[in-house]
Structure 1
Amino acid sequence: MPELASVVGDIAADLSAVTERGTVASYIPMLAEVPIGQFGIAVTTADGQVITAGDAEVPFSIQSISKVFTLTLALGQIGDALWQRVGKEPSGNAFNSIVQLEYEHGVPRNPFINAGAIVVADAMLSGHQPREALGAILRFIRFVAADEAITIDEAVARSEKETGFRNTALANYMRAFGVLQHPVDHALGVYFHQCALSMTCRQLALAGRYLAFSGRLSPGGPTVVAPERARRIAALMLTCGHYDGSGEFAFRVGLPGKSGVGGGILAIAPGKASIAVWSPGLDRHGNSVLGSLALERLAKAMRWSVFAG
């Protein structure tokens, strides 16, 4: 087995020469301004190492990666009752599709497409005001990442609100079916702000540890969620974490992962490591081009695929 630090360093060096990097998410004005030439990677292992390379200390907008953490919180708040309002199946459609939502009577296919994440945000509002729900999200992220410096980028949140017409349509459609139980602007306010969380690769890799280590921050360390819940969230990441590119990612990389249109990906090697990569250029599905390539190379070199062989 090659040394992890050497593998991570080689991947960062090799990818620095790649010219085909996709395109940035131009439909969110603040994301359109991010320089495409950046790449970062961080890996935190079971023995507590944190190995980084490239732009691993540069904060970026985690966007839909936040859906992993809000799902964790919502399940902790209302339990399996959540699954009466959102499904567990891959979508096969774009992350902001309204056609599928209409066909399925306002119930989103899974919690990682936009409509599903808005339902999760709505669930977090049970007994809480939007500011309280956002406070709970921020406290949780800071706890699992062991970093009080993590913040929400208000400029990005404002940019999303000003241009989020499709998400507003999705939310209103679900409200018409009674799937959303709180005012649309409250659920959207939570959703836009959670997507505007700003984190580095290092912080994100640390935040994902509880999914890699059976619900704990380290093997034998503090418990965040029950092992079964961590396993189920990871299963959804594998099948649904890359929108309509989830099958391709599972085929190429073989790890549970969740992408965001900010160019980040959080990936989990169960029992071994939590990995964060970031490069803002996206493919046609909205997933980081270099990030996906880095994870494919890392999983192959370290033999970390969840599939034997």
Structure 2
Amino acid sequence: MVEDRVVPFPDGLTVADVLERGMDAAHALFARSDATSGVPLADVRLLAPLVPAAIRDFVAFEEHVEGVSASVDGKSEVVPEWYQAPTFYFTNPHTVLGPGEAVSPPVTERLDFELELAAVIGAVPGSDGANLTGDAAASHVFGYTIMNDWSARDIQSREMKVRLGPAKGKDFGTSLGPWIVTADELASCLDADGFLAVRAEVFVNGEQIGDDLVSNMGWTFPELVAYASRNSRVVPGDVLGSGTVGNGGCLAELWGRAGQLTPPPLRTGDEVRMVIEGIGELTARVGPSVPPHPIAAARPRPRIRRRGAT
């Protein structure tokens, strides 16, 4: 976007093309952009700012872990393993929602939002994105966007008791947007330790529910990227969520601290608006739940080891 107009990339390039070319190429493309060819933002319906190659979602805020743990088993704690390394799970890149796009949750009694800042990975010449050091990882952070990791907490809780997941409690929708702000635009917001000191807020139906500084993370974004690349790779188009900010970045944290469902779980028609300093606003409404097709419970089997045995 240039000023208040949405301007296409030169040569018909897409966001994916630009991420594959990296930050220097993005600056060169911007220098060639023609604002007169753009469309007023008011006349445009924004889609999600990219189609992610993969989405890793971390849990990098200690305060969030304290609150949510209490909502799960009544005990507020941060296990020692949390401090040892940043933990993440993979979520569904095929159910990404753009700004203003309603989420269609499963049937749930505990629908929740999660306010996050997400890093978007871009290409770096000469790097395959594998086994990055922290310093090298920083150059792979192309930019940032707002992320809402919608969560059905009751479904998630059942899944986690099997010691795997989350899965269907999460994979029905992840909102991203409204756009990608390049990393250099936020460089002035980095504190002395390399954390992004930008303010994050979330509102439900106009009422502020939570706010935090993103710099309260336990690890910097380059450290998250480096960990994701360990014995693996990050590639252009990957999205890495910070995890939910503290101080009311989700309802489950507040439920854990209050010992009851206050504020109440989200319902159809509720509006969730997220604001992160330097990034913008990401708003969505809760759409109707989608009833599942029935699936049978597991059937106990006799554990026969050879065909034909009785």
How does the TM-score come out when normalised to structure 1?
Answer: 0.29
How does the TM-score come out when normalised to structure 2?
Answer: 0.29
- Kindly indicate which of the two structures has a greater share of residues assigned to strand: 2
- Kindly indicate which of the two structures has a greater share of residues assigned to helix: 1
Bigger-Rg structure (1/2) = 2
